[in-house]
Amino acid sequence: MQKLHLSQVLSQKLSPQQIQFIKLLQVPTAELDARVEEELEINPALEEGREEEKKENEDDEFEDSYEEDLGYEDKDINLDDYLNDDYGGYKMQGDGNYSPDEEDREIPISSGVSLHEQLMTQLGFLKLDERQKLIGRQLIGSIESDGYIRRDLEAIINDLAFSQNIETDVDEIEEILRKIQTFDPAGIAARNLQECLLIQLERKEHPEDNLVQNAIKIIADCFDEFTKKHYPKIQKKLDLDDEDIKEAVNIITRLNPKPGGISDGLVKTQYIIPDFILSNNEGKLEISLNSKNAPELRVSRSYSEMFDAYDKSDKKDKKLKDTVTFVKQKLDAAKWFIDAIKQRQQTLLKTMQAILDYQVEFFREGDETKLKPMILKDIADKIEMDISTVSRVANSKSIQTEFGIYPLKYFFSEGIATESGEDVSNKEVKSVLQAMVEAENKRRPLSDDKLVKMLNDKGYNIARRTVAKYREQLQIPVARLRKEL
C-alpha cells in the first residue's frame, strides 16, 4: 500500500556564480589570462580597462534591477558557507610603479627541436624504401618521452596492418628498430633498461677496451645481480678482481637511463609563474600578488546605456523584451565575473598572509628546520574560511621568495613529537634524515634501524616504519642499494 508523506530536508546547492568563483580560485596565475580572455570573448558586456567612476545617484535603477534578478542585495557574500564539498584586490606587485609596457611582456618560452622531430630527421638520412619508412615512423611514434619503446612489437605489427595496410613480421620490425637504435641520443628506442645500457656501452669510443667489455658482460650476463648490487656474486661469476669491477660499475653508472631527455631542445622547459611575491623591506616581510592576478575589467558603458534605453521603452514587443532580457543577462554576468576576480584576489592574499604569519621564521631565513607543523585546518581556522577553500589555494599556487619559488603545499606538514614534548615539522625530520644519509660511509651505509637510533638520540621520537616512509618519500634507496665499492 502506497502512502504519501511530507518531509523536510536541509541541503545546500551551489549557484552558477558560486561555482564560477570556486573555479576561478583554483586557476593558477599562468592560466588566469586565458580564462579572462575566454570570458571577454563570450560576453560582449565585459571590457578590458579600469572601471569608470560613477556620478552620484547614477545607474541606481540598473543596480536595483540587478539585485532583484540575482535575488540578493549588493553586499559581501561569504561563499565559504557553500564550499563544504569533498574536493581537496588589493596590493599588487609594483602597483603604480610600472609602465604599461611591462604588462604586455611575454614570458619566454623555450624553443628547440622536439625528440620526435629529431628522430624523424635522422630517419630521413637512412636509405629506406617507402614501406620501411612507414614502419620506421610507426616505431618512432611509439617512443615514449623518456626514450623507450614499451609497446609489444606484435601490437605495433597490428597497428601497421590496420592503419597503414602493411603486413610485416617481428624480424622485419626488429631490423628497422636496430637502425633507429643507432640514432642520437644513444640508447634511444630501447625496450628496457638493460637494452638501453647495452646500446650505450656498445657505442662507446673504444668498445673493445677491457673495462668496457667487463661493463657489457655485467649488464648482459649479471643484470639482475647488478640492479641488486650483489657485487660479490658478479665477481665470482665473471672472475673479476675488486679494481676491475669497480671501474666497470663506474662506467655503467655514468650512462643515461633516460635518453629521451638528455640534451637541450629535446624536452620542453616549463616556467613557473609565482602567484605571490614576498619581499623583505629592512626586516619587514610584505606579500604582494603577481600583477597578472589583477586584470583591469569593467562593465561595458554602451551595454549599460542600451539596457536603460530598452528598459524604458514599450515592452509589449516580444523581440524587444527578449533583447532586454539578453542584455541584462550579459550585464549581470559581467558584473559577477568582475566581483569574483576581486574576491579571488582577496581570498588569495588572506590565505597567504596567514601562512606567512604561521611560518614567519622560515620566511625570514629560508631554513627548512624552522618550518612548524601546519595543516589545512590551522589556516582555515585562522582566516575563518572552509578547509576546502584553503586546499584550493594551497594545491595550485606558489610564492617567490629570496630563497627560491615554493608551492604553497610545501609549507603544510604533520608534526613529530620530541623528547621535550614539542612538535616539530616532519620536514625538519626529513632534512635531518637526508643529511645523515649524505654524510654516511657509502661502503657501509646506514640501515633503517641505525637511522632510527640516530634520530632518537637527537630527540626525535620516531618509529622505524616512519623512517622507511620518509626515506621513500625522499627517494633514498635502502642501505644495500646505497652501497658503493
The pLDDT of residue 341 is 86
- The pLDDT tens digits for 5-60 are 676 765 555 566 667 677 778 777 778 888 888 888 888 888 887 765 554 454 44
- The pLDDT score that the predictor gives to residue 176 is 93
* 135 contact partners, CB below 8 Å, separation of at least 6: 160, 166, 168, 172, 173, 176
**pLDDT value at residue 210:** 87
Q: What is the 3-state secondary structure (H, E, C) of the chain?
A: CCCCCCCCCCCCCCCHHHHHHHHHHHCCHHHHHHHHHHHHHHCCCEEECCCCCCCCCCCHHHHHHHHHHHCCCCCCCCHHHHCCCCCCCCCECCCCCCCHHHHCCCCCCCCCCCHHHHHHHHHHHCCCCHHHHHHHHHHHHCECCCCEECCCHHHHHHHHHHHHCCCCCHHHHHHHHHHHCCCCCCCCCECCHHHHHHHHHHCCCCCCCHHHHHHHHHHHHCHHHHHCCCHHHHHHHHCCCHHHHHHHHHHHHCCCCCHHHCCCCCCCCCCCCCCEEEEEECCEEEEEECHHHCCCEEECHHHHHHHHHHHCCCCCCHHHHHHHHHHHHHHHHHHHHHHHHHHHHHHHHHHHHHHHHHCHHHHHHCCHHHCCCECHHHHHHHHCCCHHHHHHHHHHCEEEECCEEEEHHHHCECEEEECCCCEEEHHHHHHHHHHHHHHCCCCCCCCHHHHHHHHHHCCECCCHHHHHHHHHHCCCCCHHHHCCC
Pairwise CA distance, residues 468 & 113, whole Å: 41
pTM equals 0.51
Question: What is the model's pLDDT at position 104?
Answer: 39
Residues 6+ apart with CB under 8 A from 478: 448, 471
**For residues 256 and 240, is the Cβ–Cβ distance under 8 A?**
no
Residue found under cell 626525535: 460
Grouped pLDDT means (10 residues each) for the chain, 485 residues: 67 63 78 85 83 51 44 40 37 39 41 78 89 92 91 91 88 93 92 93 83 91 89 89 88 89 47 84 87 80 76 66 80 86 89 92 85 88 89 86 88 74 73 88 88 87 85 85 77
Sequence spans of domains, the chain = 15-51+59-94+272-412, 115-183, 185-267, 414-485
pLDDT at 423: 65
Domain 414-485 has CATH 1.10.10.60: yes
CA 408 – CA 306 distance, rounded (Å) = 45
